[in-house]
Structure 1
Amino acid sequence: MKVAFVLESYPPHIGGSESRAYNLIKRLPKSWEIHVITPCFDYAKKEEVRENVFVHRFGAYHSFSYFKNGSRPLSLSLDISQRALFTLKKLGSFDACVYSEWNLLTFALTHAFVSSPKLVDWCEVLAGRIAGLAGVLEALLEKNLAQRATHHIAVNEKVKELLKNVHKVDSKRISVVQNGVDERFIASSFPKKQSGRLLYVGRLTPHKGVHSLLMVFSRLRKTHPYATLHIVGAGDPSYTLSLKKLAVEGVEFLGVLSESELIEEYRSAQLLVLPSEREGSSLVSLEAMANYTPVVTIDAPLNLSKSDTVIHGFNGLVVKPSNLLDALQAVLSDETLWKSLSQNANLYAKERSWSKCAKKLEEVLKSV
Structure 2
Amino acid sequence: MPEKTKILFTHNTAMWYRIPFFRKLAELYDLDLVFTHINVIQDIYDNELDKKIRGLEEVNYTILENKHGFAKGLIKKACSNNEFVIGGSWDTIQELIESLILFFITKIKREKFIIWREDWDWKKENNLKEKILNIVIKYLTNHSDAILVPGTLHKQYFHDKLGVSENKIHIMPNVSNISGINENITKSQTDKKILYVGRLIPRKGINYLIEAYSKLKKEVDNIQLLIIGSGPEEDSLKEYVKENNIEDVAFLGKIENNELKEYYQESNLVVIPSINKGMGDPWVFVLNEAMYYGNPVIATTAVGAAPDMIKDNGFIVPEKDSDSLYNAMYEIITDNELEKKMSQESVNIIKKEFQYSNMINAFIKTIESIK
Into which bin does the TM-score normalised by the smaller protein fall? Answer: 0.7 to 0.9
**Alignment partner, residue 24 of structure 1:** 21
**Alignment partner, residue 214 of structure 2:** 218
How far is the alpha carbon of 1:47 from its aligned partner?
A: 5.7
Q: What CA distance in whole angstroms lies between the structure 1 residues aligned with 2:296 and 2:15?
A: 27
Question: Quick check: 1:287–1:349 contact (8 Å CA) kept in 2?
Answer: no
1:217-271 CA distance string (max 9 Å, x none): 2333222343222223344xx3333333334543333344333311111100100
Count of residue pairs brought into register by the alignment: 336
Question: Quick check: 1:331–1:337 contact (8 Å CA) kept in 2?
Answer: yes
Question: Quick check: 2:142–2:165 contact (8 Å CA) kept in 1?
Answer: no
Task: Please say which of residues 132-141 and 202-211 is displaced more in the overlay.
Answer: 132-141
| Residues 60-75 of structure 1: pairs in structure 2 closer than 5 A | none
**Alignment partner, residue 229 of structure 1:** 225
Residue identity in the other structure for 1:53 = V
Q: What CA distance in whole angstroms lies between the structure 2 residues aligned with 1:94 and 1:203?
A: 38
Shift in CA distance, 172/306, structure 1 to aligned 2, threshold 3 Å = same
With structure 1 as the length reference, what TM-score do the two structures score?
A: 0.80
Q: Determine helix, strand or coil for the equivalent of 1:282.
A: coil
1:316 is the counterpart of 2:314: yes
**Alignment partner, residue 201 of structure 1:** 197
Question: Quick check: 1:270–1:294 contact (8 Å CA) kept in 2?
Answer: yes
Q: Determine helix, strand or coil for the equivalent of 1:40.
A: coil
1:175-231 CA distance string (max 9 Å, x none): 11112344x627497951143211112233322212222232233322234322222
1:55 is the counterpart of 2:52: no
Q: What CA distance in whole angstroms lies between the structure 2 residues aligned with 1:22 and 1:141?
A: 30
Compute the RMSD of aligned alpha carbons: 2.9
How far is the alpha carbon of 1:361 from its aligned partner?
A: 0.9
Residue identity in the other structure for 1:54 = N
Residue identity in the other structure for 2:313 = N
**Alignment partner, residue 107 of structure 1:** 99
How far is the alpha carbon of 1:8 from its aligned partner?
A: 2.6
Question: Quick check: 2:10–2:34 contact (8 Å CA) kept in 1?
Answer: yes
Q: What CA distance in whole angstroms lies between the structure 2 residues aligned with 1:2 and 1:361?
A: 14
How far is the alpha carbon of 1:153 from its aligned partner?
A: 0.8
1:347 is the counterpart of 2:353: no
With structure 2 as the length reference, what TM-score do the two structures score?
A: 0.79
Q: Which runs of no fewer than 5 residues in structure 1 stay unpaired?
A: 13-18, 61-75
Q: What CA distance in whole angstroms lies between the structure 2 residues aligned with 1:288 and 1:109?
A: 39
| Residues 280-295 of structure 1: pairs in structure 2 closer than 5 A | 280-295=282-297
Q: What CA distance in whole angstroms lies between the structure 1 residues aligned with 2:209 and 2:161?
A: 32
Percentage of matched positions with identical amino acids = 21
Q: Which runs of no fewer than 5 residues in structure 2 stay unpaired?
A: 43-47
Q: Determine helix, strand or coil for the equivalent of 1:110.
A: helix
